[in-house]
Amino acid sequence: MPSRRRILQAACAVLPAGLLSAAVRAADNPVNHRPIPSTGEMLPTVGMGTADTFDVNPQGAEMATLEDVLKRLIAGAGRNAVVDTAPSYGQAEAVTGALLARLGARDGIFLATKISTTGREAALRQVHNSQAMLKSQRLDLIQVHNLIDTVNQLALLRELKQQGVTRYVGITHYTESAQDELTRLVEREKPDFVQINLSVTDRGAEQRLLPACQAHGVAVLINRPFRDGALFRQVRDKTLPGWAAEIDCTSWAQLFLKFIVGHPAVTSVIPATSKPANMADNLLAGRGRLPDAAMRKRIADLFT
Ligand SMILES: NC(=O)c1ccc[n+]([C@@H]2O[C@H](COP(=O)([O-])OP(=O)(O)OC[C@H]3O[C@@H](n4cnc5c(N)ncnc54)[C@H](OP(=O)(O)O)[C@@H]3O)[C@@H](O)[C@H]2O)c1
């Protein structure tokens, strides 16, 4: 069971006193889940990315703090929270693998990584290396990173799925310029997952890509939900609107994330953080009421 006490302890560290009672109410709500369309398996709507934040020395002092980040994710989101990494994220796979082993937590999370190379042999080497770094023979999701050699690598990933190396296959990108190509691939290749960018200021995916994912039964992970942190600089001098409480939000981070998971095509959002208190804050967006279309517009209008 996700620990309400741990979430609240961390929320106390980031929230002003006036918002704490609202955070207490939010933490009382159960974790929200969405199904993976191809199987019905349920995922919590808030998971975690590891780009930059988990790229640290696996023997270094930051490991203790990142262990706490991961512990909070596991305690706060419950079973199957998505942890997304990649071979191209420096030490992130090694750090993720070491911490999951230390916590004995591999089986409780939904572990996603990527292939980011051309050609079959290089891709197989990368997958074997990911298995070693992550200390996990079986991966939950392997994605073709940034549309590199997509059709060939998707075919390879389907073979690996047959062999039980991965349970799902996916494709990723992080810019709106790639979304027409992603839409074509969703329609033609029907991967299990697409991972793309969406935020209060980047709504391009809502035009064609997210409806295509819904129509073809493709699960959606959302990256760069905070535009790599830039959204927090935009609200530095702004007060959170009072109506954020109508969807149980007590921070800008929660409002940004609920804007995303309020879209019905979205399965899970994967914000990255190096701080336990920010992890706890983000996890509160995985509970309580979600915005409808009108409320999502109201949120986005704050940034136009
Ligand atoms: N092509 C691809 O496949 C692709 C591309 C980009 C990203 N991704 C995936 O998506 C994940 C997320 O995207 P991202 O890493 O680009 O950035 P992001 O999640 O949009 O933003 C991360 C930044 O937000 C800050 N932050 C997090 N929670 C916060 C909170 N509650 N309050 C204040 N600041 C907060 C973090 O700083 P602190 O550390 O100080 O909390 C960090 O600087 C990546 O880690 C990766 O797994 C995939």
Q: 207: Cβ–Cβ under 8 A, 6 or more apart, which residues?
A: 179
What rounded mean pLDDT belongs to the chain? 94
pLDDT confidence of residue 8:
66
pLDDT confidence of residue 105:
97
C-alpha pair distances (Å), 198 with each of 46, 66, 68, 107, 258: 14, 25, 27, 29, 12
- Structural domains for the chain: 4-301 (3.20.20.100)
pLDDT confidence of residue 154:
97
Residue 259 sits at φ, ψ, to 5 deg, of -55, -40
Question: Angle, nearest 10°, between helix axes 62-77 and 276-284?
Answer: 20
Ligand 1 pocket, residue 176 CB under 6 Å: no
pLDDT confidence of residue 24:
72
Q: Cα 288 from chain centroid? A: 18
Of 277, 219, 229, 208, give the one whose Cα is nearest residue 80: 219
Torsion over CA: 10, 12, 13, 14 (sign)? positive
- Cα of 163 from ligand 1 centre, angstroms: 32
Average pLDDT on 109-117 reads 98
CB atoms within 10 A of CB 77: 30
Identify the residue whose C-alpha is closest to ligand 1 atom 17: 228
Q: How confident is the model at residue 255 (pLDDT cuts 50, 70, 90)?
A: very high
Ligand 1 pocket, residue 268 CB under 6 Å: no
Identify the residue whose C-alpha is closest to ligand 1 atom 10: 223
Q: What are the pLDDT digits (tens) for 180-222?
A: 999 999 999 999 999 999 999 999 999 999 999 999 999 999 9
SS3 111: strand
pLDDT confidence of residue 233:
97
Identify the residue whose C-alpha is closest to ligand 1 atom 4: 174
